[in-house]
Chain A
Amino acid sequence: MTQNYFELFNLPEKFQINLEKLQENYRTIQKEIHPDRFAMATENEKIQSMIKSTQINDAYQALKSPIKRAKYILSLHKSLEKIPLPPDFLMQQMEWEEHLDTISENKNELNKFKFIINKEYEQYSLLLETQIDINQDWDEAAITIDKLHFVEKLLNKINISLN
């Protein structure tokens, strides 16, 4: 299956997509081609359904997560070489990490920090949407993806400290 993931799920090739429709179409396709539908079929069909179902799962995962989706769109347009993050963001990264270390026992502070980082996440997501869907500026988008990736990991760490 060399088909573009967006075509596969009948969606426009955009960063901003309708996630509900993605899920709905994913489920519809799996209901048709999942190996459980072919338990009584020929060996060929069993193998094919296994392959297709695996690919559909893979494509779904690639489009479901914003970061993976952005990376996938970029991969359709440019080679993915690593672009170093700007120094000011690296400084910001270190500050955030240090802050998390100092407040890791304090639930109140953690919640406040989570709120701030969530805002950052939203901002970078919006930026990414402009860079990909409007400006089609792949190089800038690549940097934003890396930033977003860091922010997502940071959010995860905060959540772990909170639990």
Chain B
Amino acid sequence: MALLQISEPGKSTMPHQHRRVVGIDLGTTNSLVASVISGSPTILKQIDGSNLLPSVVHYSKDKILVGKDAKNHLGKDAENTISSVKRLIGKTINDVNKDHFPLNLADGDGVINIKTSMGIKNPIEVSAEILKTLKIVAENKLCGELMGSVVTVPAYFDDAQRQATKDACTLAGLNVLRLINEPTAAAVAYGLDKKPRGCFVVFDLGGGTFDVSILNLSKGLFEVLATHGDANLGGDDFDQAIVNFLNDKYKLNITDIEIQSIVSILAREIKESLSIKKEVEVLKKISGIEIKETFTQEQFKILVKGLINQTLKATKSALHDAKLNNEQIDGVIMVGGSTRMPCIQEAVKNLFKQELHNDLNPDEVVALGAATQANILAGNGQEDLLLLDVTPLSLGIETIGSIVERIIPRNTTLPVAMAQEFTTYKDGQTAMIIHVVQGERELVDDCRSLAKFTLKKIPPMVAGAAKIKVTFQVDTDGLLSVSAEETTTNARATIEVKPSYGLSEDKIKAMLQSSYDLAEEDKASRALAETKVEANQLIELTQKALDTDKDLLSESELTSIKNDLSELIDSLKSSNNDKIKEATKKLNLQSESFAAKRMDRSIQKALTGKSINKLEF
């Protein structure tokens, strides 16, 4: 049961409800959910009492199993048992090596389709099943509905993968307060626990992804200086190295899904044993072939040498981008279950010539950090901490000759908006295709295609005369939005969005509808309740804003806001959803410029407040 929480006297200026929020680590191999309980981030245990939920989903004709129960089907019913779905999310069939998945994969119009006994499923739906399970666990432990969640993604996830993860959350009925990067979440957990200061490297090798982030940790501010990684490199690949070795040596049938599934499980066991023991002996019969082998740590190290080098290369690149060398690093934080491998620890230790921080459980630290961040965002905690994160990959658009023109370089602090002007190539050109790509390479084909827009109704002019301003904006979730307009005329150009990846909003809505089979009545009362919560929140915040800053408004502005405010309060007495919604919208519109002025005032206050402090020295 969740404990009652009592805040420190004097710290909280106004009593507000403690908001039920969680941090979720949606991992390749395992997933976790955590929440801050009585001031400390705590993993919420699964029904079976364990901290980890295996990220495995099993589909039979009429039943969905998640976690350990699903994992039991891996060897027996591999085709219907989906593990490591994180390696498929936000991708198309051309991005993955089908041989690495004992599944029936096919192209599905922007997503990968997985054929199961329950029909076609996509990675977003599969991930949503894992998230739903975590949500139920959390709501049971915290005794009530969740208000919001912070969900972690690999820092090196591209826009399509982030968007797909957020879609999975929506599908699972989770309100996402923020997507945050896994290494950043780990730094938060370490930061609040050990209070380190200076430049730190977070080396995060998970089941299927690798991230390395360089952060500057100071009091109250964690600033990511650079991040690098590989969204396709993790513990799974180390297993695969053993699988390949066994397939090769014992001439195992690589097209037999059942055999390969058994070899995979065996390989993982070998790898995990080698993290504790110097050598392991294997004696197993797989479809009549006897496997007899002794693996040593040294031998394993040779098998995975290429993978280790990949992680070191990425680490060096991140250091270079952060304009630091390895002597300027104050500490190295190891995160992710795969950093338990002695060969990894040795390699990182050699690179930085210092002991590693691996005293927090590498499987849990990301979820704990996410829970802390959720608590801060919800305004529950007293921690004074701000995270400034960066874009992991450069964003640009395709120009003549399939060359990428970069608009936002990698490692730019978020949120960011940058614009660039482009022009027409031919006389009288009236349309332009804007192809948005992500990646570091010069040629479009070597980068990730994110979306294609068609900009129409450009006024016909001679080549080079039109000025098309393309603006890229990346928000604090690391998600991109693009807009374009022709600036020499007032003609507003229309934009058609054709995402090359992921699901359209309509598809998500349709999936949501079919997953919630609520009665109409339930839906209506739920909608009304949500509208009322939102309205009450707006009333409370507007009143607070007026209390402190009404001097920013002219008399007429103040009167208008006050009128709309009382109108909203009145509307709440009714149970008319539309009426309340309308009044909420009106007040929001009315106070738009008030919000802007208040923001400017906080900027000024922030600096003057400090210069006064300075005088006291």
Contact = CB atoms under 8 A, between A and B. Distances in A.
A41 to B, nearest CB: 6
B596 A48 contact: yes
Interface string A52-73: 1110111011000000000000
Nearest to B541: A42
Contact of B606 (A32, A53, A60): A32
A45 to B, nearest CB: 5
Given A42-B542, A45-B541, A52-B603, A31 B386 contact: yes
Contacts of A58: 416-418
A11 B605 CA distance: 15
A58 B413 CA distance: 9
B416 A54 contact: yes
Given A31-B221, A42-B541, A57 B596 contact: no
A32 B475 contact: no
A28 interface: yes
A27 interface: yes
B322 interface: no
B287 interface: no
A72 to B, nearest CB: 15
A58 to B, nearest CB: 7
Contacts of B538: 42
Contacts of A32: 602-603, 605-606
B377 A39 contact: yes
Contacts of A9: 607
Contacts of A25: 607, 610
Contacts of A10: 607, 611
Nearest to B611: A10
A54 B599 contact: no
Contacts of B387: 36
Contact of B541 (A31, A37, A41, A50): A41
Contacts of A47: 595
A42 B588 contact: yes
Interface residues of B, number: 47
B460 interface: no
Given A28-B607, A36-B386, A49 B599 contact: yes
A53 B414 CA distance: 8
A9 to B, nearest CB: 8
The binding surface of chain A is classed by DSSP as: helix
Contacts of B610: 25, 28
B416 A57 contact: yes
A39 B378 contact: yes
A43 B202 CA distance: 34
A36 B223 CA distance: 14
A29 B606 CA distance: 6
Contacts of B223: 27
B349 interface: no
Interface in B31-64: none
B591 interface: yes
Interface string B541-554: 11000000000000
B220 interface: yes
A39 B177 contact: yes
B591 A30 contact: no
A127 interface: no
Given A35-B415, A39-B377, A163 B605 contact: no
Nearest to A49: B599
A33 interface: yes
A26 B283 CA distance: 62
A76 interface: no
Given A1-B600, A31-B221, A33-B603, A54 B473 contact: yes
B541 A57 contact: no
Contacts of A52: 599-600, 603
A34 interface: yes
Contacts of B246: none
Given A39-B378, A44-B595, A50 B605 contact: no
Nearest to B475: A50
B72 interface: no
B320 A163 contact: yes
B386 A48 contact: no
A148 B223 CA distance: 28
Nearest to B594: A44
B386 A34 contact: yes
A40 interface: yes
A36 B377 contact: yes
B407 interface: no
B595 A50 contact: no
Given A31-B606, A39-B377, A40-B379, A54 B386 contact: no
A33 B415 contact: no
A25 to B, nearest CB: 6
A31 B476 contact: no
Interface of B: 19, 148, 177-178, 220-221, 223, 316, 320, 376-379, 384, 386-388, 412-418, 473, 475-476, 537-538, 541-542, 588, 591-592, 594-596, 598-600, 602-603, 605-607, 610-611
Interface of A: 1, 8-10, 25, 27-37, 39-45, 47-54, 56-58, 60-61, 159, 163
19 contacts: A27-B221, A29-B607, A30-B388, A31-B386, A32-B602, A34-B476, A36-B376, A39-B177, A40-B19, A40-B378, A40-B537, A42-B541, A43-B588, A44-B588, A45-B541, A48-B596, A52-B603, A57-B412, A57-B415
Given A30-B221, A35-B475, A40-B377, 13 more contacts: A9-B607, A29-B606, A31-B221, A31-B384, A31-B386, A32-B605, A34-B476, A36-B377, A42-B541, A48-B599, A51-B596, A57-B413, A61-B412
